Structure 1
Amino acid sequence: MNNTSNVENNSSCESIYNFKASIYVPSYIIIFIFGFTENLFCLYVFLKLYKKKTAFSIVMVNLAISDLLFVCTLPWRVHYYSENIWKHSHSLCIFLTYALYLNMYCSIYFLTLISILRYFAIVHPITCLKFRSVKCVQIICIAIWMFVGIAAIPFLSLENKKKRCFEFNDSTAVIFTMNLFSLVLGFIIPFFIFNTCYILVIKTLLTSEANHHNQKSSRSKAIVRIIVVMVIFITGFPVYHVLRTVYLAEIQNKSNPVQVSCFVQKSAVVTLCQVVMNPCLDPVFYYFAAESFRDKLRSTVKNTFKGCPALMHQN
């Protein structure tokens, strides 16, 4: 919410607009290109190559759809920060803000759901089998879309400054309250569940018996993949939420030095880019979190390029 303050102009961070343009424009262009391509390819793998639906594939399809829809909104953000003026309708601006937070928190909830499914599959493979059914997971995914979609509705009621976008006229108290709500329900609780599930999974893998070398190797690889997944999640969302909260809290404290305020604003801009980069990182998450996806990806790449040597030989 670093770009949603109603008092941004009250600070003496005079270069903030130029700084945003220099960071957002190239970042959003790169994220759009890679995010659109990667998630479109992932959807192809999930929808065309998976002969049978699984709980994991359903969640990943929903996550890929969320990411794909969001990256399609980035060209408007690039245009705005390039021109430094909003030339489109107020409704479109509000929708773009809504889309950002819808994607962010849907992503967090879908990633959390994957960690729960992994926990059930490894720690309680028999007793929690019914919770990993395709029908149950489909219902949960629909519930996530509905819950996040409804919870993000307050963003649709915000008023932007004239000829600006992502900068609201609403009181700081209102925005700070919205931040606290999204911080607790949208990040802290899912973050706790996500890490708890994977820590318990790692504990189960470490304490499980492995009699053969292949079993020990598979267990070690599984632990490494889980650690990579946790790092991907931890490096993006926590820093952004902390800085966003600090920034909004600092705005309400008029006695803070201007230099610190400017530093926090610019830091929040950078961390927002980290969060927006999530659609590019989720395909990496699929690769490390789902063995079936790795197998499908490898076979697809192999089949795509298997004719290349013969073609080069003909030339």
Structure 2
Amino acid sequence: MNNISVSFLTGPKTTPDPDEENAVKNDYSAAIGALIFSLVFLLGVPGNLFIVWSILARIRQRSVTTLLILNLACADGFLMALTIFFIIYLAMQSWVFGNTMCKIVFYLCNSNMYASVFLITLMSVNRLLAVVFPHTLYHLITRKVVKRVILGTWVLVMVISIPSLVFRDVKEETDDMNQTTYVCAPNHTLRRHVRFEYAFQTVAGFIIPYAIIITSYVLILKRLRETRFQRNIRSEKLILAIVIMFGLFWLPYHVINMIQVAAAWYPKDSATRKRLYGMAESTRAVTSTLAFISSCANPVLYTFAGKSYIKNNGFAFMAKLFEGTSLEQTGTKSTQFTAKDDLGKNNIDSENHTLASPLQNRC
């Protein structure tokens, strides 16, 4: 989530350069930024906690999809809790938490970015195995395998987020009135550092995962057309909605990342470099905010998806939604063939391995 707070505090630079982060006090921008983060906090923290509570307290049999949603809610909810740091940062227009917290907070922000997209990728791969390889590879998905994959995903997330610890420091700045402020900003000392961090974020956190996601859904659609499988499954629609929403929120952010990477290839005094960097700086605040808001959007999505349950189930409506996806994935009438399958199988979309006992995941 690089530059998200800095962007709200910076204005146009006379000499744009990706290695120079000069904070400009702007009360209006800071107020708008603090308001957005406050709304994100008020919506995202309770919303994601409600998802966690619904799954842990209300659902006994948890499918793979439900467990991945649980971990996604844990990641998003934890990130939303960090918004308090950004609210104070913007209100005071100075980073008052020290250099260590500067590194840790942005490290955790980037960890959430990777965790979110990796968990969504696992959802897509899980659907691929359930639909395309239901009687071969999908039978290998046991409770132990799921636990190890989720744990391994979190370990990978923590490792590949390390550049956020290295390329982030508190900088001291003095304005025209000799007032000193502190900015938690990137500390790229070389152009290759800019290219590495932003390119790595986009390739590892967007291009590769989304290539896997798109490939999975292409194969799923191909399989369904071959078998003429007619169905109306909430889990399929819910996962697809999560994938699309995440992509819409994050694509602009990664486009700006690549523009900044392109700018870093040009000499420091190049007009093209200044133009590209100026473009990135002028839109960084908006794209970073969209990316950040994505972590509080899932509870809203689930609420709309489960609105039909609200009247009859009250606060248990979300648990009912997730139970519905589990039932579909364990083989109900809605998941049966309506036409003959050339393989003679009756249920290519079953998640036979629902997990009756809770996994010890990262929540």
TM-score by length of structure 2 reads 0.70
Shift of 1:283: 3.2
Residue identity matched to 1:262: G
Which residue number in structure 1 is paired with residue 188 of structure 2?
170
288, 312, 334: which is aligned to 1:302? 312
268, 288, 293: which is aligned to 1:277? 293
1:43–1:61 contact (8 Å) kept in structure 2:
yes
Which residue number in structure 2 is paired with residue 119 of structure 1?
128
1:2–1:247 contact (8 Å) kept in structure 2:
no
Shift of 1:168: 2.6
Q: Name the stretch that deviates more: 227-236 or 194-203.
A: 227-236
Shift of 1:301: 5.6
Q: Name the stretch that deviates more: 125-134 or 63-72.
A: 125-134
Residue identity matched to 1:236: F
Shift of 1:204: 2.7
Shift of 1:225: 5.1
Structure 1 CA distance, aligned partners of 2:218 and 2:239?
A: 9
228, 233, 236: which is aligned to 1:209? 228
2:47–2:296 contact (8 Å) kept in structure 1:
yes
Which residue number in structure 2 is paired with residue 232 of structure 1?
245
Which residue number in structure 1 is paired with residue 3 of structure 2?
3
139, 152, 175: which is aligned to 2:148? 139
Instruction: Give 3-state SS (helix, strand or coil) of 1:161's partner.
Output: strand
Structure 1 CA distance, aligned partners of 2:257 and 2:263?
A: 10
Which residue number in structure 2 is paired with residue 311 of structure 1?
none
Q: What are the Cα deviations for residues 182-240 of structure 1, in whole angstroms up to 9, with x where unaligned?
A: 32222211110011112222333344325xxxx45x26x77765653442132122221
59, 64, 72: which is aligned to 2:81? 72
Structure 1 CA distance, aligned partners of 2:213 and 2:300?
A: 17
Residue identity matched to 1:279: S
Q: What are the Cα deviations for residues 99-127 of structure 1, in whole angstroms up to 9, with x where unaligned?
A: 11000011010000001001111121111
**Is 1:193 matched up with 2:212?**
yes
Which residue number in structure 2 is paired with residue 32 of structure 1?
41
Residue identity matched to 2:262: A
1:195–1:230 contact (8 Å) kept in structure 2:
no
Which residue number in structure 2 is paired with residue 291 of structure 1?
none
**Is 1:256 matched up with 2:271?**
yes
1:26–1:302: structure 2 CA closer, same or farther, 3 Å change rule?
same
Which residue number in structure 2 is paired with residue 242 of structure 1?
255
1:228–1:299: structure 2 CA closer, same or farther, 3 Å change rule?
closer
1:286–1:123: structure 2 CA closer, same or farther, 3 Å change rule?
farther
Q: Which has the higher helix share?
A: 1
Task: List alignment gaps of at least 5 residues for structure 2.
Answer: 173-180, 317-363
284, 287, 304: which is aligned to 1:268? 284
Shift of 1:57: 1.8
Residue identity matched to 2:16: S
Shift of 1:89: 1.6
Shift of 1:136: 1.1
Q: Name the stretch that deviates more: 104-113 or 51-60.
A: 51-60
CA RMSD of aligned residues (A): 3.2
Q: What number of residue pairs does the alignment pair up?
A: 293
Which residue number in structure 1 is paired with residue 55 of structure 2?
46
TM-score by length of structure 1 reads 0.80
Instruction: Give 3-state SS (helix, strand or coil) of 1:165's partner.
Output: strand
Residue identity matched to 1:269: A
Residue identity matched to 2:131: I
Shift of 1:260: 5.3
1:247–1:268 contact (8 Å) kept in structure 2:
no
Residue identity matched to 2:290: Q
